[in-house]
Amino acid sequence: MRVLGIETSCDETGVALYDTRHGLLADALYSQVAMHADFGGVVPELASRDHTRKLLPLIDDVLGEAHCGRADLDAIAYTAGPGLVGALMVGASTAHGMARSLDIPVLGVHHMEGHLLAPMLEDDPVAFPFVALLVSGGHTQLVAVEGLGAYRLLGESVDDAAGEAFDKAAKMLELGYPGGPAIARLAEHGDPTRFRFPRPMTDRPGLDFSFSGLKTHTLTTIKALRDEGALDEQAHADIARAFEEAVVDTLVIKCRRALDDTGLKRLVVAGGVSANVRLRERLDHALTKRRAKAFYPRNRFCTDNGAMIAYAGAQRLMAGEHDDSAILAVPRWPLTDLRPPAV
Amino acid sequence: MTSHAASLTHSKGEITTSMPTLLALDASSNACSVALMHRPAGAEADEVSARLSLTPREHTHRLMPMIDDLLAEASLTVEDLDAIAYGHGPGSFTGLRIAAGIAQGLAYGAEKPLIGVSTLAAMAYAAHRQYHLRYVIPALDARMGEIYVGAYYCHQGQLTPLMDEAVMSPEALSLPAGQEDVDWVGVGSGWKLWSSMPAQLQAEIGQHIEDLAPVAEDMAYLASREYLAGQGQSPHLVQPVYLRDKVAWRR
């Protein structure tokens, strides 16, 4: 089955073509990050307008790259949520229109299910069951995954998502948007021993996260240094390093705990923050010690993309799932509301 | 939901022209609508059959079933169409994109030309078709104290624009230069801001009809002319026309 995947939930337009026998045939992405950077964050109306401009040309690129005609498509999968409702509607309505004229099934896919399954596009795909750490600008969740659609929430952030904390800390340090890569770059030059930032909620049992206190701690540190006239370039780097260390350490501690609690040996890490190199190093180290293994999507598929939507959609479409005539755009949609496909 | 079929005979002298088989859709307002222009088997004339659904915020649930219904009733598929059209705006930003997405998807999938129709032109056409008006100023409430507005001369089913469509405050509205002496009629929700319009304009406008909204049926007529004039385009080129382009502010 050849499935076209369409992702327009936020500020990236993603399209891909996945074949259930031959794997990923092509994928293309247009990122609006530069456009939104001028405004310090995503402007939903601009995002939606840009999706409408970019989507069809990207679909054309992907079909061209795969040497496929429109008639070679067997189904279309699109991100139905969660995300920005206006942005979601662009992909959803285009998918439905196109599916109708091609007379093929169409299916709305959960964005986070896409992220969750993205490592299955790699050469060494993860097998069920596993623990998943979903960590991005919108989510920080630990989920026990028994199979497709069988998700149990183990813990989540009670306030900011980890990626959001990176963005806010980057703003305090006057770095660009998005903050994650900017902090990671600056942290390279930082002294890991100069500051020690708190590891929130690690001193008590449970798998929930909290990152807003860390944000406040960062601000307090910056203020104190500024008052002393000591907020120089090195101090910026040292703060970035301390911040990154604290987030990474917190995530690693909770992942270890989640594996211990569930007795599982496989960990999937997905979402934008999963591209963080230090996080991967620490996780690999921590997991090797307990004979467990971490699985990541390739860097390009850590952030939003069409490939994960094509893949996740294909799994459900193969089981016979598809939309009726209602175009789905669901801004808030808990992952745990999903069910395995009814066979 | 309403359904009706209208013959093209109202536009005199045109019935001999073979009209295209065309699907038009619109989601620019609180209502969404679909219209199918086609010639039924054995019929002498083309027909436009239409569906309208006044269900704000449910356009994503209503449009595809209405499209399916109309095509099924006429025993047609998307393949049988000559072109697709949609109301490209101005109007509700999200609504314009829903219509654009469906129309672009349909046209791209079936490799058909796409035609964008102005919602304001569709309103002028409706006023001409229903009330035989000739000088029409269609205006839509653009919120934020502004209106979307245009001006059209309508003659024998043909529309000639007399000003560029624009978003403006009602206080700034004036009649097209050199055209003040004709019998202008205002149509559409924008005229609910009547009390904010200049006194001189109020004196010049003969009447205004607030409850006239853009619908796909009028767009089908306008698009059929565009199609016959060779104006169908590659789907990705036919983008929404928002008119209001200042939607974000730098920090």
Query: Does any CB of chain A come closer than 8 Å to the CB of residue B248?
Result: yes
ipTM reported for the complex surpasses 0.85: yes
Residue B41: predicted pLDDT: 82
User: Which of the four pLDDT bands, split at 50, 70 and 90, describes residue B7?
Assistant: very low
Domain B2-119+214-237 matches domain B120-209 at the CATH topology level: yes
d(CA B31, CA B44): 32
Asked if residue B21 has pLDDT above 80, the reply is yes
- Interface contact A45-B97, CB threshold 8 A: no
Residue B51: what residue type?
R
Q: Which residue on chain B is closest to A43 by alpha carbon?
A: B248
| Structure tokens that stand for B197 in this block | 């319009």
HSE of A268, CA atoms in CB hemisphere, 13 A: 31
Over range B234-243, report the average pLDDT.
98
User: Which of the four pLDDT bands, split at 50, 70 and 90, describes residue B8?
Assistant: very low
| Domains by residue range for chain A, with CATH | 2-117+301-337 (3.30.420.40), 127-296 (3.30.420.40)
Query: Does any CB of chain A come closer than 8 Å to the CB of residue B245?
Result: no
Tell me which residue of A30, A69, A61, A26 sits closest to A47, measured CA to CA. Answer: A30
CATH architecture of B2-119+214-237: 2-Layer Sandwich (3.30)
Higher pLDDT, B177 or A243: A243
CA distance B232 to chain A (A): 17
Residue B239: predicted pLDDT: 98
CB-CB contact of B215 with B126 (8 Å): yes
A305 marked as part of a ligand binding site: no
Percent of chain B with pLDDT over 70: 93
Interface probe for B, chosen from A42, A167, A325, A328 (most Cβ of B below 10 Å), is A325
Q: Nearest by CB to B101, which of A39, A97, A325?
A: A97
d(CA B240, CA B247): 15
**B120-209 carries CATH number 3.30.420.40:** yes
Query: Does any CB of chain B come closer than 8 Å to the CB of residue A33?
Result: no
Residue with tokens 């998700």: A151
CA distance A237 to chain B (A): 25
Over range B120-145, report the average pLDDT.
97
Name the B residues in 41-100 with CB < 8 Å from any A CB. Answer: 60-61, 63-65, 67-68, 77-79, 93-94, 97-100
d(CA B91, CA B115): 17
Asked if residue B11 has pLDDT above 50, the reply is no
pLDDT along chain A (343 residues), means of 10: 98 97 98 87 94 98 98 98 97 98 98 96 96 94 97 97 94 88 96 95 93 95 96 96 97 97 97 95 96 96 97 98 97 96 84
Q: State whether residue A58 is helix, strand or coil.
A: helix
Greatest Cα pair distance in chain B:
63
β-pairing verdict for A23-31 and B205-209: unpaired
Q: Nearest by CB to A89, which of B94, B112, B240?
A: B94
Residue B6: predicted pLDDT: 39
> What is the C-alpha radius of gyration for chain B, rounded to an integer number of angstroms?
18
CA distance A342 to chain B (A): 23
A102 marked as part of a ligand binding site: no
Residue B155: what residue type?
H
Q: Which residue on chain A is closest to B234 by alpha carbon?
A: A56
CB-CB contact of B138 with B120 (8 Å): yes
Alpha helices, H only, B132-215: 199-204
Q: Is the pTM of this model over 0.90?
A: yes
In chain B, domain spans: 2-119+214-237, 120-209
User: Which of the four pLDDT bands, split at 50, 70 and 90, describes residue B17?
Assistant: low
β-pairing verdict for A75-81 and A2-7: parallel
User: Which of the four pLDDT bands, split at 50, 70 and 90, describes residue B1?
Assistant: very low
Cα four-point dihedral sign A288, A133, A184, A190? negative
Asked if residue B78 has pLDDT above 70, the reply is yes
CA distance A303 to chain B (A): 24
Q: Nearest by CB to A329, which of B60, B107, B236?
A: B60
